[in-house]
Structure 1
Amino acid sequence: MIVEVVGGADERPEVRVVDVDDLTRLHLALGAVTDGEADRVLREAGLGRVQDAETGILDVAALRSAAAAQASTEDWDRRWDGMLEYAGSKGWLVDDGAGLQVHVESAAGA
């Protein structure tokens, strides 16, 4: 799963949750936006925040809601739970489990 922050209509950044059926990976992909713009649009969408240039924190409940609405596999809920269990074992759950720490990647190749 990928949470993308990209330039949208009228050069206003927008956030999208894509590849929701692939629960073997999760990262935050930033297009041609600044960290500040990405942080703002993530917070406005209720999906999380940018912690620094390499790390984002995603809201677990909001991400699940956004992703589940697009999921197309019958066992998605079970695999989501497995992904969270794995993340917890790696210490990636933060804010008492309400947040999920993810790696930030540049989708713009910058």
Structure 2
Amino acid sequence: MYLTIADDGVTLHDPERVNDFYASYRQRLTPARLHEVMVEHAGGELLPDGNHVMVPVETLRRLAAGQVDEGWDHKFAGMLSYAQDKGWMSEDGTAVRAHLEREM
């Protein structure tokens, strides 16, 4: 699954594919604007390294609603458990880290 970040908001794509998670944005977005859009749309935040974002778990659930089958929650929980084991979750477990890729 991946999150796209654009001037008009954040969108979740391929939510059924829980074995791969990343975020992408259009080249024209500056880091400041990227962070602003994410905050405005409850999409999370840009991390200081500029290469990752932290995305709230509840945002992913909200964006996946209506796109996934009833077994998705179980698969998603497995993804979050794997992310926790790798150190890719926030300390309180409410957000997951995603690598940020720039679209050309």
TM-score w.r.t. structure 1 length? 0.84
Map of 2:59 onto structure 1:
62
Match of 2:9 in 1: 14
Partner of 2:19: 24
- Three-state SS of the structure 1 residue aligned to 2:15 is coil
Distance 1:24 1:63 in 2: 14
Do residues 53 (structure 1) and 50 (structure 2) align? yes
Offset of 1:13 from its aligned partner? 4.0
Alpha-carbon RMSD across the aligned residues, in angstroms, is 1.4
SS at match of 1:15: strand
Paired residue total: 102
Deviations 1:11-54 (A, max 9, x none): x4432111111111111101131221111111111120111321
Percentage identity across paired residues of the two chains: 28
Determine whether 1:2 maps to 2:8: no
Name structure 1 gaps, 5 residues minimum. Answer: 7-11
> Which aligned segments of 4 or more residues in structure 1 are displaced greater than 4 angstroms?
none
For 1:64-79, list aligned pairs within 5 A. Answer: 64-71=61-68, 73-79=69-75
